[in-house]
Chain A
Amino acid sequence: SQQGEEDPQALSIQEGENATMNCSYKTSINNLQWYRQNSGRGLVHLILIRSNEREKHSGRLRVTLDTSKKSSSLLITASRAADTASYFCATGRGATNKLIFGTGTLLAVQP
């Protein structure tokens, strides 16, 4: 079963606007990662936030983690048409190196 559930399933915004995607999960985690997938391509790692961190930034990306609510959000500021892609959260837990991926949010940025 999926550990992560992204919300919304799809999001359409205009270039320059901010995009926010949410991820909820069910059990305690070691870390949470966000990946991007362009159409027809493999996934690309964006950012990793550990369970003892609350916020992390990378360029135009801002990730927050609330372990009490078992949720995370990914904010993309000043979006560009090139940000059009599917975004997945993935959670890591336990002692293995496995990740469990959510079903993704499809982001469309209109030029």
Chain B
Amino acid sequence: DAGITQSPRYKITETGRQVTLMCHQTWSHSYMFWYRQDLGHGLRLIYYSAAADITDKGEVPDGYVVSRSKTENFPLTLESATRSQTSVYFCASSELKTSVQETQYFGPGTRLLVL
């Protein structure tokens, strides 16, 4: 299977629980990103990673943790889920061709509902 996959596709959890969303890409892209999409806000960057073991905060990082021990995987963990984290989460990846921004390739998304 080639491309970028996310799991689970749907998740229901309760406030206070820890949740991990998985992202896997088969292209060996250097960069990976996590976004959340909410009505009226478009896509907002949570965290991104330039390479294995290199991560950095985006626009809305509070309440989230990421890691990148392998190039192909970029899991996103909600340490203690809150209702405000109910959203659709998208993972994306891009190559590192130049020093400027390249095309991003998106996964299918994970719909998370926090009760």
Q: Is residue A56 within 8 Å, beta carbon to beta carbon, of the partner chain?
A: no
Residue of B nearest to A47 (CB): B103
Known: A42-B107, A43-B106. A100 touches B100 (CB 8 A): no
A92 and B42 within 8 A (CB) = no
Known: A98-B48, A101-B42, A101-B43. A44 touches B106 (CB 8 A): yes
Q: How large is the interface on B (under 10, 10 to 19, 20 to 34, 35 or more residues)?
A: 20 to 34
* Total residues of chain A contacting the partner, CB 8 A: 26
Taking a contact as CB atoms closer than 8 A, the residue among B35, B44, B104, B108 that contacts A41 in the complex is: B108
Known: A103-B40, A103-B41. A45 touches B50 (CB 8 A): no
A97 and B40 within 8 A (CB) = no
Binary B-proximity of A2-43 (CB < 8 A = 1, otherwise 0): 100000000000000000000000000011010100001111
